[in-house]
Structure 1
Amino acid sequence: MGKRKKESAKKLKEARKKVSFAVLRNNPTSPRKMRLVADMVRGMEVMRALDVLKYNSREASGKVEKLLRSAIANWEQKNEGETPEESGLYIKEIKVDEGRMLKRLRPAPQGRAHRIRKRSNHVTLVLGSTTDNNING
């Protein structure tokens, strides 16, 4: 590995240590349904987002709420002695990617078959702090 590439890799590694995030993989919900919930809380303050997710009737909101609690726990582990309310913690980035797709066959009339696609998704949630100015997103 070249010197320049090694230095940039070190910078990325150090920047990643400062960021708190949580990842949910192979969630058996279609990405479209999950994106509706993700768009609802993107950019929100953490405590307000927890309230919104708690009282939302969608099934995906329960999974995003659990993921958000995990990201908060990761943040608290890095920043001991601070609370999310004091530091102005918010959802900096939340993205929903397509996961693997299970392909099944359903019988159809006259000896035919229709393909059923059971979709899944991956959710990545990154937290940011309004008091922490040295992280560039």
Structure 2
Amino acid sequence: MEAARAQARFVRVAPTKARRVVDLIRGLDVDEASALLQFTPSAAAEPVRKTLESAVANAYDLTGTQRDTLKVGTAYVDEGPTLKRFRPGGKGRAFRIKKRTCHITIVVADKQSANGAPASARTRASAGAGGAKGGAR
């Protein structure tokens, strides 16, 4: 099965906080990851859980794969744009507040195909020792 992915963009959670939650679920079964996210006391857990559920729905729509055969393959968080706000300070000064956003990406795959290395690494390894740059000289 080809992996299905879902992406939540411009989520109003700091990327560092979202990364801590995403690190919890990477490599887990989908049901186990969803249960873990449901009881994780972090504001980032809800958008991550919604993104995971969207990836599962995408896998079902694309290939008809059932939920119990899926595993969280790749999951990462990228930085989004930062909203800059000002807070009044003492003596007429203004302090900058950075409201950070992030993009959450989750890829789910079959448990069988998610066990080994990613597909791109497997093709590179089988291409030979030399690769494009080096090789036997």
* Counterpart position of 1:105: 86
Partners of 1:21 and 1:36 lie apart in 2 by 20
Looking at structure 1, the residues matched to 41 and 32 of structure 2 have their Cα atoms a distance apart, in angstroms, of 16
What's the CA shift string for 1:15-58, capped at 9, x where partnerless? xx922000000000111111110011111111100110111121
Deviation at 1:79, TM superposition (A): 1.9
Structure with bigger helix share is: 1
Among residues 40, 49, 60, which one is paired with 1:56 in the alignment? 40
Which contiguous aligned blocks of 4+ residues in structure 1 show a shift greater than 6 angstroms?
A: none
Q: Which residue of 2 aligns with 1:136?
A: 119
Q: CA RMSD in A?
A: 1.9
Q: Return the match for 2:96 from 81, 104, 115.
A: 115
Deviations for 1:61-91, whole angstroms, at most 9, x for unmatched residues?
A: 11111111110000011222x4222x3x111
Matches within 5 A, 1:1-137: 18-80=2-64, 82-85=65-68, 87=69, 89-132=70-113, 136-137=119-120
Would the aligned equivalents of 2:11 and 2:103 in 1 still touch at CA under 8 Å?
Answer: yes
- The count of aligned residue pairs is 118
Instruction: In structure 2, give the amino acid aligned to 1:93.
Output: T
| Amino acid paired to 1:72 | V
SS of equivalent to 1:66? helix
TM-score of the aligned structures, taking structure 2 as reference length = 0.79
Q: Give the SS at the match of 1:119.
A: strand
Question: TM-score of the superposition, structure 1-length normalised?
Answer: 0.79
